[in-house]
């Protein structure tokens, strides 16, 4: 299996090269040359597989055994998920007759990003150790400088996946004051020598733009050998496909035998990585219905499925939608801050497939046509802040997805509703966005549809929103009902962080240079 850039070019990379490179030199994202089909007997053979066994089976479809043997892959997977607190890694819970919740927050940082980033950290280390072992005595060792931007959970998950890894330094940019106190503390209280937190006075989109610009700077990239941990890295999307399959089997086991059912996944999303993994699973052959894109007031994705316009600002009213406070960049500050994003990086991958399905020709010519179309769309997006796709492309997008936008008020009401329900389930605000969208979509679903809502973070990571929703409930006690022992005293620990006064790539480059000189 080889990988190529969504924006074209003759370059084809191995899985190893794709993982270590992250972002393509032409600014595109790497995707596989083809999406593999599932084995004919997957429904019976995989039915009783554990998360680790499913991971090995699915990853093996994308990774040649000539690159990573089955035994090596199993060792990497076992090592990655030994850090999770639940034996199923990503367990499923039933909320009511038609709704299940897929809990993705049982990793070391209590967020769904752990599923991919624990594996990615081990892949980085595995590849570097193998490369360095092949070098002659005295030859310079290969090192990797990992850079990433976070709106909250990616940062801590990446840090916990890479802390103290051999030959790896990690720099995580986060928007100052725009992540929850717990999220900030999880990042900045890690004091391993190879971990560097950079607080940027700006937005997540500013941080993300800086990271992309660093990769685009060929001289700087070559000098420091940059690696990506954001969901632009293909390995993250690959790892996240596994829990769609695991939850499929676990939910099917709880439904009536031989029932004619359709499973519908509802995914709270900002950067589009988590739901894109579901798209790949579906295209591989997982029999599921439309994927539901659940957004907050930063609704660029919801607006796309409504109009076919992918634009930072709503061209109808000139806003980014919603009633929350808007900063100068147009980002809405919401109770679900990890989704406070104007431009969804991973959406480019889906746009390539939409262009491909509507391109003429076959084989390499069809791929080239799709890449050329995609490159044009992204150029328009960069220069104008918007692009409108042709009607046939939008119709193709609507075959696999539907979208819904959820306000902060409804987010709070949803947290309260599920707590006061018979299940007494406490969700974080991002999960609540998914639950709220699920209820809206369910009203028009066929009666045989069952919903699986992805729960992306532990509620303790967003204490302000959860407490605001539930403080008036007489039976609620945050410390008793929500706070895990791992978070106790976290906010009081010593922090180590580098502050950058404005979103300026040169300032961030200077930070990386200074650290490199010391090492």
Q: Cα–Cα distance between 235 and 123 in angstroms, integer?
A: 9
Q: Cα–Cα distance between 182 and 189 in angstroms, integer?
A: 10
Nearest to 321 by CA among 351, 350, 296, 288: 296
Helix (H) or strand (E) holding 198, with range, is strand 195-200
DSSP 269-296: -SSSHHHHHHHHHHHHT----PEEEEE-
Nearest to 35 by CA among 67, 68, 65, 3: 3
Q: Do residues 339 and 436 touch, judged by C-beta distance below 8 A?
A: no
Nearest to 241 by CA among 357, 349, 85: 349
Quick count: other Cβ atoms within 10 Å of Cβ 96? 12
DSSP 208-261: HHHHHHHHH-HHHHHHHTEEE-STTSHHHHHHHTHHHHHHHHHHHTTSPTT---
Q: Cα–Cα distance between 131 and 166 in angstroms, integer?
A: 12
Q: Cα–Cα distance between 208 and 214 in angstroms, integer?
A: 10
Token pair for 177? 């004051």
Q: Cα–Cα distance between 276 and 281 in angstroms, integer?
A: 9
Alpha-carbon distance values, 129 to 124, 146, 439 (Å)? 9, 16, 48
341-352 burial: b if 16+ Cβ within 10 Å, else e: bbbbbbbbbbbb
Quick count: other Cβ atoms within 10 Å of Cβ 72? 14
Alpha-carbon distance values, 82 to 128, 166, 456 (Å)? 22, 20, 19
Token pair for 313? 């600002």
Q: Do residues 335 and 357 touch, judged by C-beta distance below 8 A?
A: no
CA atoms within 13 A on the CB side of 242: 30
Check 113, 165, 282, 312 and give the catalytic one: 113
Reply yes or no on whether 366 is catalytic: no
Residue 179 makes CB contacts below 8 A (sequence gap 6+) with 150, 151, 152, 155, 187, 337
Token pair for 109? 């940082």
Please give the positions annotated as active site: 113
């Amino acid at each position: 299996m080889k990988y190529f850039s969504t924006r074209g070019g003759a370059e084809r990379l191995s899985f190893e090269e794709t993982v270590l490179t992250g972002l393509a030199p032409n600014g595109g994202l790497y995707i596989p040359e083809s999406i593999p089909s599932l084995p004919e007997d997957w429904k019976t053979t995989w039915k009783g597989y554990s998360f680790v066994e499913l991971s090995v089976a699915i990853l093996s479809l994308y990774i040649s055994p000539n690159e990573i043997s089955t035994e090596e892959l199993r060792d990497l997977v076992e090592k990655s998920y030994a850090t999770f607190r639940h034996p199923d890694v990503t367990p499923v819970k039933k909320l009511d007759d038609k709704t299940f919740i897929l809990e993705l927050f049982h990793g070391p940082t209590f967020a769904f990003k752990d599923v991919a980033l624990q594996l990615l950290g081990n892949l980085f280390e595995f590849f570097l150790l193998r490369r360095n072992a092949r070098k002659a005595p005295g030859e310079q060792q290969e090192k990797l400088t990992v850079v990433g931007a976070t709106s909250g959970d990616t940062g801590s998950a990446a840090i916990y996946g890479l802390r103290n890894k051999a030959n790896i330094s990690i720099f995580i940019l986060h928007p100052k004051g725009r992540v929850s106190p717990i999220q900030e503390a999880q990042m900045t209280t890690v004091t391993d020598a190879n971990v560097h937190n950079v607080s940027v006075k700006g937005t997540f989109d500013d941080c993300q733009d800086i990271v992309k610009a660093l990769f685009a700077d060929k001289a700087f990239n070559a000098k420091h050998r940059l690696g990506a941990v954001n969901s632009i890295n293909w390995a993250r999307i690959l790892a996240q496909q596994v829990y769609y399959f695991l939850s499929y089997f676990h939910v099917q086991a709880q439904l009536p035998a031989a029932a004619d059912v359709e499973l519908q996944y509802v995914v709270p999303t900002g950067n589009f990585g988590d739901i894109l993994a579901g798209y790949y699973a579906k295209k591989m052959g997982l029999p599921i219905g439309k994927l539901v894109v659940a957004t907050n007031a930063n609704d660029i994705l919801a607006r796309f499925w409504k109009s076919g316009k992918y634009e930072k600002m709503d061209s109808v009213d000139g806003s980014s939608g919603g009633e929350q406070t808007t900063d100068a960049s147009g980002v809405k500050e919401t109770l679900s801050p990890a989704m406070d994003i104007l431009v969804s990086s991973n959406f480019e991958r889906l746009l390539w497939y939409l262009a491909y399905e509507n391109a003429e020709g076959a084989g390499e010519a069809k791929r080239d046509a799709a890449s050329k179309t995609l490159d044009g769309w992204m150029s328009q997006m960069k220069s104008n802040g918007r692009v409108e796709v042709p009607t046939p492309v939008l119709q193709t997008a609507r075959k696999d997805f539907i979208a819904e936008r959820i306000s902060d008020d409804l987010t709070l009401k949803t947290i309260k509703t599920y707590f006061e329900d018979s299940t007494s389930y406490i969700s974080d605000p991002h999960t609540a966005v998914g639950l709220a969208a699920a209820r809206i979509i369910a009203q028009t679903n066929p009666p045989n549809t069952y919903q699986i809502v992805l729960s992306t973070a532990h509620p303790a990571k967003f204490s302000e929103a959860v407490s605001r929703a539930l403080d008036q409930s007489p039976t609620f006690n945050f410390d008793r009902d929500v706070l895990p022992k791992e978070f106790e005293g976290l906010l009081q620990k010593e922090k180590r962080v580098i502050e950058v006064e404005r979103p300026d790539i040169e300032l961030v480059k200077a930070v990386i240079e200074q650290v490199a000189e010391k090492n």
